[in-house]
């Protein structure tokens, strides 16, 4: 197995940036960062693809072992029921791996070609990491998290069609695109590959991610920017990594499409407002925002608070639920499409 390189200096810089601004972080993210930092400081990235607590777990590439009440009532002995819970979880993971793409392709999913393209490109990079949660696309394997990018794009297509909006992907990709809170980079990479497949003209490209990505699956080179680095050069072969401590120092980014999946709802209101100000500052003359939110009644991760705040600032063009959540492997939630300018 090819191990990910744990760049201790890069990690330290990112963590130092977080600590500088941690007083403004939500309780949700404080707890989340703490659990990840504890794991990385002890084991580096050697449990990537194996352990849920590492960043890849939260973004879909490793399953979470869910307690099974019936098994616990019947067997009572922890070593037995935990073994059975793990076996059942891995049974489901293997079922999703072999069936998920075919279920999508046989439904009303419009971007099967994108997943096939990603499979051809990522297969040889996915296998050495031996990720537990993958999806078989024909004879290739892709990390499960990559299906999220394709599904989100598919939902955007459906919103545009259902509401008869005068928007195309060419409009979304006209200038630069940004994934706010991009996790391990898989959704952004899916967007990038879809754009290149369709050969839309662009002025330039900046691919920005707030959170430290372990996305060597997709990119060989990473550039990290902190508060002292205010200029970002466009480079198709590099992924620009930016922490939120830098957003006040950046030059105008001319962004035509912003995307966020779930992390807005895991922020406090003041943090969301800060990002809204950032979006307004860096939006191109014609700009859009898509938010995918999972249903949650918890105060620390409410989807409703995000919708209320966004509706106060931007024009809601339309929304649609994840139609594919009827299949194991798809995430339940709703995508909202907004016009920024």
Q: Is residue 41 part of a domain?
A: no
pLDDT of residue 216: 36
Instruction: Tell me which DSSP letter residue 326 carries.
Output: G
- Asked whether the predicted pLDDT for residue 79 surpasses 50, the reply is yes
Average pLDDT for 201-222: 37
- pLDDT tens figures, 60-75: 567 778 899 999 999 9
Pairwise CA distance, residues 270 & 149, whole Å: 27
Contact call for residues 314 and 291 (beta carbons, < 8 A): no
Give the domain CATH number at 176. Answer: 3.40.50.150
Comparing 207 with 198, the larger pLDDT belongs to 198
Q: At CB < 8 A and 24+ separation, what contacts does 194-202 make?
A: 194/111, 194/114, 194/150, 194/153, 194/169, 195/169, 197/113, 197/114, 197/117, 198/169, 200/169, 200/170, 200/173, 200/174, 201/170, 202/173, 202/174, 202/175, 202/176
Q: Is residue 208 part of a domain?
A: yes
State the average pLDDT for the chain. Answer: 80
- pLDDT tens figures, 240-290: 556 666 666 677 888 899 999 988 998 889 889 989 998 999 999 999 999
Domain around 280: 146-339
Q: Is residue 294 part of a domain?
A: yes
Q: Is residue 97 part of a domain?
A: no
Q: Is residue 89 part of a domain?
A: no
**Torsional sign, CA 92, 53, 1, 237:** positive
pLDDT of residue 56: 52
pLDDT of residue 328: 87
Q: Is residue 228 part of a domain?
A: yes
**Structure-token match 């072969």, residue found:** 237
Residues 6+ apart with CB under 8 A from 242: 208, 209, 210, 224, 225, 232, 250
Q: Is residue 229 part of a domain?
A: yes
Q: Looking at the 3D structure of the chain, how many domains does it have? A: 1
Comparing 124 with 281, the larger pLDDT belongs to 281
Q: Is residue 30 part of a domain?
A: no
**How far, rounded to the nearest angstrom, does the alpha carbon of residue 114 sit from its chain's CA centroid?**
17
């Amino acid at each position: 197995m090819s191990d990910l390189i744990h760049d201790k200096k890069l990690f330290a810089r990112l963590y130092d940036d977080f600590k500088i601004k941690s007083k403004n972080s939500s309780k949700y993210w404080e707890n989340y960062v703490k659990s990840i930092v504890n794991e990385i400081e002890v084991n580096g990235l050697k449990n990537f693809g194996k352990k849920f607590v590492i960043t890849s777990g939260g973004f879909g590439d490793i399953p979470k072992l869910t307690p099974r009440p019936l098994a616990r009532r019947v067997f009572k002995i922890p070593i037995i029921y935990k073994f059975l819970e793990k076996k059942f979880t891995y049974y489901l993971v293997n079922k999703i791996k072999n069936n998920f793409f075919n279920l999508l392709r046989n439904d009303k999913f419009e971007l099967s070609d994108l997943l096939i393209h990603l499979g051809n490109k990522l297969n040889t990079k996915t296998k050495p990491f031996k990720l537990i949660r993958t999806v078989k696309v024909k004879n290739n394997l892709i990390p499960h998290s990559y299906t999220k990018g394709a599904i989100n794009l598919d939902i955007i297509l459906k919103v545009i069609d259902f509401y008869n909006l005068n928007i195309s992907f060419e409009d979304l990709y006209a200038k630069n695109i940004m994934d706010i809170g991009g996790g391990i980079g898989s959704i952004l990479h899916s967007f990038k590959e879809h754009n290149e497949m369709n050969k839309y003209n662009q002025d330039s490209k900046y691919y920005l991610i707030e959170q430290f990505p372990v996305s060597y699956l997709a990119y060989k080179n990473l550039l990290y920017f902190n508060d002292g680095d205010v200029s970002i050069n466009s480079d198709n072969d590099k992924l620009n990594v930016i922490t939120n401590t830098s957003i006040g120092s950046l030059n105008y980014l001319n962004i035509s499409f912003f995307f966020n999946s779930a992390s807005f709802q895991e922020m406090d209101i003041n943090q969301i407002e800060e990002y809204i100000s950032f979006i307004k500052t860096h939006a191109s003359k014609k700009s859009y925002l898509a938010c995918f939110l999972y249903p949650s009644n918890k105060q620390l991760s409410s989807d409703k608070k995000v919708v209320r705040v966004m509706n106060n600032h931007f024009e809601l063009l339309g929304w649609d639920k994840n139609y594919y959540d009827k299949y194991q492997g798809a995430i339940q939630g709703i995508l909202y499409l907004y016009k920024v300018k």
